[in-house]
Structure 1
């Protein structure tokens, strides 16, 4: 015989027909009673609701604490004497590199050189860069060396750029990034003003296709939801960090002391690996809000997006076991509740329907917090369970291709 819940359902306080709020609260109470009676499904869904709600609150706290590059102000004398090296690795980027270069050269408020390394492009990328740069003497186009054994392409390109750079501050940028006119200066100001050694202002992610709208917002949502930002910034634990190689600035001395990209030569997710190297050597590294500093559209269509995530998701969680574990966790938190809500409606189980709906809404609330803070699309937030399900599928696909040794990117095998 199931044991009774220790509480009695509250009175609606409404004579005659009960109000909808009282009915909803009684359904919630009945769900709690089902959990007390040991109904496994309800217990799991209730736990997912509380966890999702707590994570949504955590995301809201992070959104308030997230560092932003300061408004552009006249530089101090020490800042005015500092030289910035902007480092742009490119491979087969002829279709998108021109806006990137033009925006960089239009930057104001900072003295910089722009080094572009052509990493064996097959589509004339170097010529497009030279055409965009014109006769600007700040630009140098370098030819990349053959890829050595044990290196992946991007770390090797970035290492060559860093070795050729003469600046006190190194700023790595991807070819699909377009910086604001004051973006470089504000990034350097944040690096200096916050006493950081590495900072990654996360660009606003531009989306157009349905696949992009489903998956790209999960980039900022993930670290806003799960990473305690200020604790991570102060902690020396390498595991507590986030970074984005789309736009990443660091002090040259700290970069070299941490081993540079040579220390992460075989890492798929080299940006996070580099930030971890900084922290392991006692330096401060963090992610910041780059919404009004730069924009980025990573992928142009579904095949490109699918292949991009396939090459990296297996490594994004540290190990195969980590990838499987995180996928299971996200599915439990954000896919199970709406599935339970639908099941509750179809099977006429009000407690399960109400609890599942509450869990779904908690997940959507967290997604909306991230979208609002990072310039995303609020109206896409209700599709959050579909986004997580798509991410889970891509993670499993990535693991499969990694194990088979068939993961490739831009003509190179990276498995």
Structure 2
């Protein structure tokens, strides 16, 4: 019985591998459209939600001010920070007039903090283009010029970009690589670039959108309690039939996603359940599926049954091949990191199980000093999903 399970699993991995190799070619780089010889003209508003980002916010703002295509305004929302984030924002605004500080002291009921901050920033923006980004992103100096050129060349309404995810430790890099590995075969992000597909994509590090289109889909007010607000924005754009493109920007955007492994475990609490549609049944299935398909085959290499050994070996080879391809496509990490695949899979299982257990016992999620009930999160997810279908 176990042998035939892994025969089927090997077939699934092979199909996913073929799909990935074909799909990854459909993801261009941010710079694929090149740069104009003449200076592009674009009225751009940058919108940043910042909460307790005192160590990163100044660098982010400096990299935006130094763009070769400078934005008209950089609206920075200090969302109830308890550190010196607000101070550094005000100091940057004193040096650079295009930086507009907005300080939030209270969170309205029925909103996630980040979503409310982005909504507030968008309501104050006057640009024809809006760029939603995070407070810890470093922009290469030509990033906005490339984005405008890409939008113009392909007549797009929306571009979202995957950044270079910096990480210090071996375990953290392995965990991020494994997360991106699962993201690639579950979400198939290249399908967002197919006008005939109903799959939308959104990466919070960089969402470049026409202001008119953003207003038409209802903005962040339509996804008040979506922990995956970036993905929801891309999905709503696709549902409204606006043209979009998902691109790689590892040479143009970078971020230290998490400073260490404990921070990653904590951060995953916010998105784990959202990524599984707030379904406990789907969550348990995911835990079991990852263990069965991506952990157990390594142990079965030592099984006394030679036929089970062989089919497990085939599964492991396919796993490594797909894992290496996704690591090369979405990160700048060394490919030998793939050797940590089984360890990264076990660490991911622990992280997912921990997040689900904590969400269950708390009855919701705790994120950056605020608690959000599972009932509200699930209801908003259902509402926004129905609207985008």
TM-score under structure 1 length normalisation: 0.83
1:202 pairs with 2:158: no
In terms of Rg, which structure is larger?
Answer: 1
Kept in 2: contact 1:330–1:388 (CA 8 A): yes
1:65 pairs with 2:26: yes
Kept in 1: contact 2:323–2:338 (CA 8 A): yes
Alignment of 1:49-60 (within 5 A): 49-60=10-21
Alignment of 1:319-398 (within 5 A): 319-320=278-279, 321-342=281-302, 344=303, 347=304, 349-374=305-330, 375-398=332-355
In 2 relative to 1, CA 61–250 (structure 1 residues): closer, same or farther, beyond 3 Å?
same
Q: Which residue of 2 aligns with 1:293?
A: 252
Paired residue secondary structure (2:248): strand
Kept in 2: contact 1:199–1:285 (CA 8 A): yes
In 2 relative to 1, CA 383–57 (structure 1 residues): closer, same or farther, beyond 3 Å?
farther
1:164 pairs with 2:124: yes
In 2 relative to 1, CA 121–145 (structure 1 residues): closer, same or farther, beyond 3 Å?
closer
Kept in 2: contact 1:225–1:366 (CA 8 A): no
For 1:214 and 1:189, locate their aligned partners in 2 and report how far apart those are by CA, in whole Å. 34
Listed one character per residue, the Cα deviations across residues 290-346 of structure 1 (whole Å, up to 9, x for unaligned) are 11110111111222111100122011121323333333333332223212213x2xx
In 2 relative to 1, CA 149–254 (structure 1 residues): closer, same or farther, beyond 3 Å?
same
In 2 relative to 1, CA 300–230 (structure 1 residues): closer, same or farther, beyond 3 Å?
closer
Tell me the CA shift for residue 216 of structure 1: 1.2
Alignment of 1:5-404 (within 5 A): 40-70=1-31, 72-74=34-36, 79-80=40-41, 82-132=42-92, 134-144=94-104, 146-234=106-194, 240-320=199-279, 321-342=281-302, 344=303, 347=304, 349-374=305-330, 375-404=332-361
Listed one character per residue, the Cα deviations across residues 249-306 of structure 1 (whole Å, up to 9, x for unaligned) are 1111111111101000011111111111112222233421111110111111222111
For 2:196 and 2:50, locate their aligned partners in 1 and report how far apart those are by CA, in whole Å. 32
In 2 relative to 1, CA 129–291 (structure 1 residues): closer, same or farther, beyond 3 Å?
same
For 1:106 and 1:391, locate their aligned partners in 2 and report how far apart those are by CA, in whole Å. 38
Q: Which residue of 1 aligns with 2:369?
A: 411
Paired residue secondary structure (1:217): helix
Tell me the CA shift for residue 96 of structure 1: 1.6
Point out where structure 1 has 5 or more consecutive residues left out of the alignment.
Answer: 1-39
In 2 relative to 1, CA 376–59 (structure 1 residues): closer, same or farther, beyond 3 Å?
farther
Tell me the CA shift for residue 106 of structure 1: 1.2
RMSD in angstroms over aligned alpha carbons?
2.1
Kept in 2: contact 1:62–1:224 (CA 8 A): no
Listed one character per residue, the Cα deviations across residues 212-266 of structure 1 (whole Å, up to 9, x for unaligned) are 112112343334334444544335665x233211111111111111110100001
Q: Which residue of 1 aligns with 2:383?
A: none
In 2 relative to 1, CA 151–111 (structure 1 residues): closer, same or farther, beyond 3 Å?
closer
Q: Which residue of 2 aligns with 1:35?
A: none
Paired residue secondary structure (1:181): coil
Tell me the CA shift for residue 75 of structure 1: 6.7
Kept in 2: contact 1:150–1:266 (CA 8 A): yes
TM-score under structure 2 length normalisation: 0.88
For 1:260 and 1:412, locate their aligned partners in 2 and report how far apart those are by CA, in whole Å. 22
